[in-house]
Structure 1
Amino acid sequence: MILLGWMLVLLLLALWSGLVWSGEALLAAVLSHAGNLGSGDWSLPAALTAWLPVPVTEWLAGTLETLTPQLQALVGTLPWLSGGVTVLAWVVWSVGALCLFGIGVAIHVGVALWRKSRNSTLQPSVIALR
């Protein structure tokens, strides 16, 4: 039973690792090519404006127009930020792995306590039969 619990934790760790590292690769690729976007047209998509009320759409368009220089500066720094994605991925992976390890320890202790309580309840009946 304990072995089954640890196998489950290892399987979840493998899935967690694959998810984190594929996300890291995707995010690093997106950020490394983000500097090639150019100035672009910083406007709201038509699909979004169709669903929003007119005052909200006007407010968002004005805010986006005001923030265009800052957004452009951010796009220029995105390739530089791609190096930090690996560090972030390691931190996220470590937190998840520690949580999974904690779950494994909890399963291990839980099964051990369950076995101990089961054995302690069986012993008095065995003693009474003697």
Structure 2
Amino acid sequence: MWIVAGWVLVLLLLAMWSGLVWAGEALLAAALSKAGTLSTGDWSLPEALTAWLPVPVAEWLAGTLETLTPQLQALVGTLPWLSGGVTVLAWVVWSLGALLLLGVGVAVHVAVALWRKSARSSLPPSVTVLR
């Protein structure tokens, strides 16, 4: 019974893991597919951030952002193309997690089997175990 309970728990965790990876893949693919729509004018510091930062730091960040605008725009232009790789990445991440959960299931199975064997061997020989 404990072995079945362990495998049911592993299967429930695998279902939750699958849902989490699927949702993360969908959100990331949607975000990357829309990322190419940013225009050059969108690259500025938020006013809430500039009000919170000291003036020299805010000016330095604004200057750095202005300097890096062409590189950032080129990167954003490639993001929709990269959204196709999200599915491959999701499958790799899911596979690693599934293998880890499978390993946990095997470990629980072996641990319960060894526990049963040690409990059976610790009984006196005159006692019979009914199943």
Instruction: Give TM class, smaller chain.
Output: 0.7 to 0.9
Task: Tell me the TM-score normalized by structure 2.
Answer: 0.87
Quote how far apart the aligned CAs of 1:75 are. Answer: 0.8
Mapped partners of 2:94, 2:36: distance in 1:
27
Contact 2:10/2:105 (<8 A) preserved: yes
Task: Tell me the TM-score normalized by structure 1.
Answer: 0.87
Mapped partners of 1:108, 1:27: distance in 2:
36
Correspondence for 1:91:
92
Mapped partners of 2:26, 2:84: distance in 1:
11
User: 1:55 and 1:113, CA in 2 relative to 1: closer, same or farther beyond 3 A?
Assistant: farther
Deviations 1:88-117 (A, max 9, x none): 000000011011111111111111111111
More helix by share: 1
Mapped partners of 2:105, 2:55: distance in 1:
53
Unaligned runs of 5+ in 1: none
Q: Look up the equivalent residue of 1:76 and give its one-letter code.
A: G
Number of paired residues? 127
In the alignment, structure 1 residue 64 sits paired with structure 2 residue 65: yes
Quote how far apart the aligned CAs of 1:124 are. Answer: 4.8
Quote how far apart the aligned CAs of 1:125 are. Answer: 6.6
Correspondence for 1:81:
82
Aligned-pair Cα RMSD in Å: 1.8
Aligned residue for 2:42, secondary structure, equals coil
